[in-house]
Amino acid sequence: MDLIIGNYYDNIKCESFLDPETNRIRVRPLPNQGLPTKIVVECKKEFREAHQIGTIFRTENVKVCKKPDGRLYLRAKDQMIYKIQ
């Protein structure tokens, strides 16, 4: 799937996971939502770390963004995620 920088996606379900490259808790989209599952969702650190790895969250929407090093990521609206499971 080709993501276009600046596009928004609404009501995304995502999960926390331990990123083996950085050894940090990150958040990624769940499958079957039209988004790659290997992309990271940027959100507040305190929400990621306040829950167990594998916790399911939702976002109001995410925006496709790009880091200076060329890596794409998704930014949660106001960097907020909401626990649903």
Give tens-digit pLDDT for 17-54.
999 988 999 999 999 999 999 999 999 999 999 999 99
Using 50, 70 and 90 to split pLDDT, how confident is the model at 74?
Answer: very high
Query: What distance in Å separates the CA atoms of residue 49 and residue 67, rounded to the nearest whole number?
Result: 23
Domain ranges of the chain: 8-83
Answer yes or no: is pLDDT of 85 > 70.
Answer: no
Two tokens at 28? 């990624």
pTM for the whole structure? 0.89
56: β partners: 15
Q: What is the pLDDT of residue 50?
A: 94
* pLDDT in the model for residue 70: 82
**Predicted pLDDT at 20:** 92
Whole-number percent of the chain with pLDDT over 90: 86
73 Rama sector, left if φ>0, alpha if ψ -120 to 50, beta otherwise: beta
Distance, CA of 35 to chain centre:
10
Does the structure show a pLDDT above 90 at 75? yes
